[in-house]
Amino acid sequence: NAGVTQTPKFRVLKTGQSMTLLCAQDMNHEYMYWYRQDPGMGLRLIHYSVGEGTTAKGEVPDGYNVSRLKKQNFLLGLESAAPSQTSVYFCASRENYGYTFGSGTRLTVV
Partner 1 sequence: GNSVTQMEGPVTLSEEAFLTINCTYTATGYPSLFWYVQYPGEGLQLLLKATKADDKGSNKGFEATYRKETTSFHLEKGSVQVSDSAVYFCALSDRGNNRLAFGKGNQVVVIP
Residue ranges binding partner 1 (CB under 8 A): 4, 31, 33, 35, 40-45, 48, 50, 58, 90, 92, 97-99, 101-104
Query: In terms of CB distance, is 14 or 42 closer to partner 1?
Result: 42
Query: In terms of CB distance, is 17 or 52 closer to partner 1?
Result: 52
Query: In terms of CB distance, is 1 or 42 closer to partner 1?
Result: 42
Three-state secondary structure readout of the chain: CCCEEEECCEEEECCCCCEEEEEEECCCCCEEEEEEEECCCEEEEEEEECCCCCCEECCCCCCEEEECCCCCEEEEEECCCCHHHCEEEEEEEEECCEEEECCCEEEEEC
